[in-house]
């Protein structure tokens, strides 16, 4: 569990006046997305023409002007997760300088020679650590091994990744490049891992409040930091390849855990499926925000009250090479996959079932579920 000093590091960012937070909120709302009342969200998302992912000021939860403001923010987040499964969080406490440094170190890692990266290869779903080259992964909702193998052969995801877990694990070790080959990589990623965990801890508290649970309900179920920090590099690619049937930079999928914290660069390409129309809609980068989405385990935990929504990465605007070809630019993103403790039993939350809404899923431990999904996804 976080100690007081670690919580204080994240919280200190929010010790600003309410007027400055308001100014930030006005800045990050894109011109094409007018401010709407929370009550209209359920109506907006039922049409593709008005579909939106809400922007929520998390500073109002971390440093509220009143208890009511904190509760209202928690309800906004839960409403977004019920209707869309996604939210943009502003005033989240992670500085631009921090994320810039992570992106720089990530780019340096992927720029290393292939023979160096290959020595750090991912090799076990129980560990889920190390480098994954292009063609090894095909994210999909299918659980059929033969179908996944066919999809991977036909249209593998056009990306490479580096997977990092908690570094003190006595069973599974992270795979780090040598310091002289990638200076500052390990220290930067370890610090960022802890920072993201602290934010996850607070978001889960907001979800507890929004679901009429005790604020600390999840505290002892997520404190072991059984998470995964994923660095992603999407190389530049001819646009015609991404337009082939079934091909994408990352195929349509949902995430496995409780929440995902996604840090995007400015290139774009992320799309979210409208749960009500099944059409994919752009989730364009919004300066100063983190994209946060519900994963499968949190959806199960909530009896599907909170949505684990399909999403994918496709081709953003391309650069013309000649009269016949276009090139889609390279893209970077950082995903922090939040999970409950490995041995935590994910069973229906007490506020999410009653005589009129029965439990939909059998209990499962985090480790059982995550290892099964990873085993199905990778080509090993």
Task: Give percent helix, percent strand, percent coil of the chain, each to the nearest 5.
Answer: 35, 20, 45
Report residue 375's pLDDT band, with 50, 70 and 90 as the boundaries. confident
Helix (H) or strand (E) holding 205: helix 185-210
Query: What pLDDT is recorded for position 377?
Result: 67
Strand-pairing partners, residue 280, are 273
Q: 341 with 223: CB under 8 angstroms? A: yes
Tokens representing residue 54 in the block: 């809400």
C-alpha 263/C-alpha 257 separation (Å) is: 17
| d(C-alpha 88, C-alpha 55), whole Å | 5
What is the separation, in whole angstroms, between the first and last Cα of the chain? Answer: 34
**Rg, the chain, Cα only:** 20
The full DSSP string for 162-179 is EEE--TT-SSS---PPPT
Range scoring the smallest mean pLDDT among 71-75, 111-115, 241-245: 241-245
pLDDT digits 0-9 by tens, 230-239 = 999 988 776 6
CA atoms of 2 and 84, how far apart (whole Å)? 30
User: Hey, which bits of 218-363 come out as E strands?
Assistant: 228-234, 237-238, 250-253, 259-264, 270-273, 280-282, 290-294, 311-313, 319-320, 326-328, 331-338, 345-346
Q: How far is CA 125 from CA 110, 191, 228, 279, in A?
A: 22, 24, 12, 32
pLDDT beyond 80 at 11: no
Residue 102 scores a pLDDT above 60: yes
In terms of phi and psi (left: phi > 0; alpha: psi -120 to 50; beta: otherwise), the region of 245 is beta
**Burial class of residue 26, CB neighbours in 10 A (0-12, 13-18, 19+):** exposed
Residue predicted with more confidence, 85 or 331: 85
Question: Cα separation of 96 and 120, whole Å?
Answer: 29
pLDDT for the residue numbered 271: 94
pLDDT tens across 180-194, in order? 999 999 999 999 999
**Domains of the chain (ranges, CATH numbers):** 53-377 (2.60.120.330)
Number of Cβ within a 10 Å radius of residue 121: 14
| Mean pLDDT within 271-284 | 94
pTM strictly above 0.75:
yes
């Amino acid at each position: 569990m976080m100690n007081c000093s670690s919580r204080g590091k994240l919280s200190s960012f929010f010790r600003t006046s309410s007027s400055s937070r308001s100014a930030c909120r006005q800045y990050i709302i894109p011109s094409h997305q007018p401010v709407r009342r929370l009550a209209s969200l359920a109506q907006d998302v039922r049409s593709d023409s008005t579909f939106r992912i809400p922007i929520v000021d998390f500073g109002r939860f971390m440093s509220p002007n009143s208890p009511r403001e904190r509760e209202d923010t928690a309800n906004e987040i839960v409403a977004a997760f019920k209707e869309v499964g996604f939210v943009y969080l502003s005033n989240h406490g992670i500085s631009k300088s921090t994320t810039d440094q992570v992106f720089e170190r990530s780019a340096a890692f992927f720029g290393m020679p292939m023979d160096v990266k290959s020595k750090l290869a991912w090799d076990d779903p129980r560990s889920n650590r190390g480098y994954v080259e292009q063609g090894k992964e095909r994210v999909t909702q299918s659980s059929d091994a033969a179908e996944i193998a066919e999809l991977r052969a036909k249209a593998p995801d056009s990306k490479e990744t580096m997977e990092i877990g908690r570094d003190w694990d006595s069973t599974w070790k992270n795979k780090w490049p040598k310091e002289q080959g990638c200076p500052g990589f390990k220290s930067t990623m370890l610090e960022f891992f802890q920072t993201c965990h602290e934010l996850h801890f607070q978001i889960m508290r907001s979800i507890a409040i929004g679901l009429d649970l005790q604020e600390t309900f999840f505290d002892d179920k997520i404190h072991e930091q059984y998470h995964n920090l994923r660095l992603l590099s999407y190389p530049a690619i001819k646009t015609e390849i991404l337009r082939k049937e079934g091909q994408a930079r990352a195929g349509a999928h949902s995430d496995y855990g409780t929440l995902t914290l996604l840090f995007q660069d400015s290139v774009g390409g992320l799309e979210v499926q409208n749960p009500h129309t099944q059409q994919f809609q752009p989730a364009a980068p919004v300066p100063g925000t983190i994209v946060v989405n519900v994963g499968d385990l949190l959806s199960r935990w909530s009896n599907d009250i909170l949505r684990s929504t399909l999403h994918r990465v496709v081709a953003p605007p391309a650069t013309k090479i000649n009269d016949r070809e276009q090139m889609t630019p390279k893209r970077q993103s950082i995903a922090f996959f939040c999970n409950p403790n490995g041995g935590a039993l994910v069973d229906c939350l007490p506020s999410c079932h009653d005589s009129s809404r029965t439990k939909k899923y059998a209990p499962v431990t985090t480790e059982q579920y995550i290892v099964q999904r990873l085993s199905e996804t990778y080509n090993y």
